[in-house]
Amino acid sequence: MNLTSSLRLGTATPTPTPTPTPTLPTFCSTVSLKLPSIHASHHLLQLSKKVGVVYSAANQVIEKKQQHGVTESGVDRIGSLTQVSGVLGCQWGDEGKGKLVDILANHFDIVARCQGGANAGHTIYNSEGKKFALHLVPSGILNEDTMCVIGNGVVVHLPGLFKEIDGLEANGVSCKGRILVSDRAHLLFDFHQEVDGLREEELAKSFIGTTKRGIGPCYSSKVIRNGIRVGDLRHMDTFHQKLDIMLSDAASRFQHFNKTPNMLKEEVERYERYAERLEPFITDTVHFLNEAITEKKKILVEGGQATMLDIDFGTYPFVTSSSPSAGGICTGLGIAPRVVGDLIGVVKAYTTRVGSGPFPTEILGQGGDLLRSSGQEFGTTTGRPRRCGWLDIVALKYCCQINGFSSLNLTKLDVLSNLPEIPLGVSYKLADGTPVNAFPADLRTLEQIKVDYEVMPGWQTDISSIRKYSNLPKAACQYIARIEELVGVPVNYIGIGPGRDALIYK
């Protein structure tokens, strides 16, 4: 059974896109030739060899330029990015933001995380193909000249951060003097993770499906103003009292949370050790970043999660607890909106999400299993299998409107290879046929949504080794062009594999 034949597309009937009649490219036009003499034939053979050498050299130059972000037409995609640029997710996370950040980091002085915590897992590969799974450390860490900033909007679990740093150091990645942690960032404690699990149990069948990394409870502590910040580690004389208040609050809220004097004592002693180790990392990152902007240094902002998980704009309440959309950049780093320039939206060539919540284009049953297996769709942070579906244009357009993306990075296009046809979810309607013109906030409306699909032709070939846009199959180019047309944002980066070099600049 092939993938598309085993799908649930809803009750809407897909509208096939007619396949254009193939036409002969202009460079293959038929011309009339006289047969050359034997001497002329030898001359032409030698000439063709020279031309072949020149052509091969020219191709090598083009490919080398493309590795540095230059398109076939000579546009420098990376070099033309603004002083402060950002990479944000366009779906429910897991789009492949870390890879693009890793590639772009080589051209930026600073890479900064602005929100979220260790629930954001970014998988990247170094130049030797070695795999790294990052959670708190920005994805620019593999580029030795890049400074990495964990901003004030991030919630920081110190045991996890130190484990991550130790793992990087053990694999030859130097972190000394290269990671700055905001003194305004909030500390996430182990008890926050325990509370996260208790909260999910309490919700029962209405559970959110969090990573249980304590992100929500930590942000809750921040918002009710009893949280502890990184800068508080410099004042251990009052740390005991502040932590006692937080633990007491958790104990009063959850009957199965067992707070003991010994627990408090052990945690204070542990954080005294952490405070000493973290001291070289602690920085007023608001001042640092604004000084860097004045000095004309280039800053790349790395988003975690994605817009459809935004606390305000996502599928609430099945969202994260921070703002992974464009607005979170300014509040999470302390930089002015006027300095933020190019924002690149990262979107999979299909759609995935982890946890509970609405998912209009979800593929149920064997079809979803096949796509999950083909795309290796399992969470970087938790290993949980991701729910899979077709690309949702309505949701993508909504994300583009909120963030004002200057371009898109379409990832995992290679996963769709060898499908006979590829549905695109182009519009929504209710069961009675009433059109729904935008992504709705109301969950009841989302439950009633029927998706209209436009079926695009597939391509029956592996594209993972292609490095030039002009070499992609015609159907793949049609798929990309249709996304651009429907969303109104150019696709300038195309991912066709996990490695650093598996990226096409268009």
Structure tokens at 428: 């929504």
120 is in an annotated binding site: yes
Contact 85, 344 (CB under 8 A): yes
26 is in an annotated binding site: no
380 is in an annotated binding site: yes
Catalytic residue among 135, 157, 192, 222: 222
122 is in an annotated binding site: yes
Is it true that the peptide bond before 18 is cis, omega within 30 degrees of 0?
Answer: no
Catalytic residue among 102, 122, 298, 429: 122
**94 has catalytic annotation:** yes
375 is in an annotated binding site: no
23 is in an annotated binding site: no
Catalytic residue among 94, 196, 232, 310: 94
Give the residue from 147, 136, 135 showing the smallest Cα distance to 174.
147
3-class SS letters over 18-53: CCCCCCCCHHHCCCCCCCCCHHHHHHHHHHHHHHHH
381 is in an annotated binding site: yes
Contact 113, 150 (CB under 8 A): yes
CB-count burial class (<10 Å; 0-12, 13-18, 19+) for 300: buried
Contact 166, 209 (CB under 8 A): no
Place of tokens 């930089």: 335
496 is in an annotated binding site: yes
One-letter amino acid at 54 equals V
412 is in an annotated binding site: yes
**244 has catalytic annotation:** no
One-letter amino acid at 167 equals G
DSSP annotation of 17? P
First to last CA, the chain: 34
49 is in an annotated binding site: no
Question: Nearest 5°: phi and psi at 115?
Answer: -160, 175
116 is in an annotated binding site: no
Contact 309, 323 (CB under 8 A): no
163 is in an annotated binding site: no
290 is in an annotated binding site: no
What count of Cα atoms within 13 Å lies in the side-chain half-sphere of residue 504? 26
403 is in an annotated binding site: no
386 is in an annotated binding site: yes
211 is in an annotated binding site: yes
Q: Residue 383 — left, alpha, or beta (φ > 0 → left; ψ -120 to 50 → alpha)?
A: left
99 is in an annotated binding site: yes
Give the residue from 461, 476, 424 showing the smallest Cα distance to 506.
476
332 is in an annotated binding site: no
**222 has catalytic annotation:** yes
Q: Which residues contact 155 (CB under 8 A, 6 or more apart)?
A: 116, 117, 185, 186, 187, 188, 214, 215, 218, 219, 222, 322
Q: Which residues contact 40 (CB under 8 A, 6 or more apart)?
A: none
119 is in an annotated binding site: yes
Contact 163, 230 (CB under 8 A): no
408 is in an annotated binding site: no
Q: Quick count: other Cβ atoms within 10 Å of Cβ 82?
A: 14
3-class SS letters over 200-227: HHHHHHHCCCCCCCCHHHHHHHHHCCCC
Contact 452, 428 (CB under 8 A): yes
Burial 258-271 (b: 16+ CB within 10 A, else e): ebeeeebeebeeeb
Contact 410, 318 (CB under 8 A): no
Binding residues for substrate: 380-386
Binding residues: 93-99, 119-123, 211, 225, 305, 320, 380-386, 412-414, 495-497
Active-site positions read: 94, 122, 222
Binding residues for GTP: 93-99, 121-123, 386, 412-414, 495-497
